[in-house]
Amino acid sequence: MRAPFGARLAESVAARGRLCVGIDPHPGLLDAWGLPQDVSGLERFALTCVEALAGEISVLKPQSAFFEAYGSRGVAVLERVIAESQAAGALVLLDVKRGDIGSTMAAYAAAYLGEGSPLAADAVTLSPFLGFGSLAPAIDEAERTGRGVFVLALTSNKEGASVQRAVGDGKLVAQTVVDEASLRNAGADPMGSVGLVIGATVGETGLDLSKLNGPILAPGVGAQGAGAADLDRVFGPMAHVLPTSSRDVLKHGPDVAALRTAALRARDELAAG
């Protein structure tokens, strides 16, 4: 059995730095790279990212939707991205944002976290807004297989605030998500495997993160405007923040060396903080 995701992530960050780079084959980026908007363009884009980044960067985050848009052949490319990134030493966080109940959630868990599934990543993103308890099949499967989850808590899109900053039972809905994740991570060393997604551009969170004992995925570094100073302002001295950059790195393709250089520069700037 593999070690728990929290332990593997801590080891990877210590060796490779804390930057997470998104692999987002957006149609606009395919155009910018001079690639066709078809499966051949998708494959060249995604595998170029793997070639440039998987040997150096701690975590790669493919956005599943951009692969699913091409049907079964696109999903086949995603399977290659997962396998080849892991073979090169990167952890793969698959951005799927799944959230459902009962047997449906269990099926998602089998697909993305189950041993032997061609889509099984090291971790996935989940949406808790059918109730945190609905995620139990995925969190249990992740624990069983040494994988992890990142649960949406406080996102940077303007529509999210009406739900995530709503007050129920005397506290923010987002704080309820934090508290439930903290319970799952209690006692884990060096940290638990239930992470949160909190946007790097949200400003003052109003959340008590002191008992989380798990990682935070912080999208928004680079093109969306956040930098090391913003991370300090939002999260303070927390040790397990995983800043995410996509477009700010990917715009340097399709040249492999340029992509790698951009990612390493972003990683080093975060380390210098």
Instruction: Give dist(CA 45, CA 213) in Å, integer.
Output: 36
Residues 6+ positions from 273 with CB-CB distance below 8 Å: 228, 231, 232
How far apart, in whole angstroms, are the C-alpha atoms of residue 235 and residue 237?
6
Kindly give the interhelix angle for 228-235 and 256-272, rounded to the nearest 10 degrees.
50
For residue 110 the two structure tokens come to 């089998």
Stated as kind and residue range, the H or E segment containing 245 is strand 241-245
Which residues are part of the catalytic machinery? 97
236 burial type by CB count under 10 A (0-12 exposed, 13-18 middle, 19+ buried): exposed
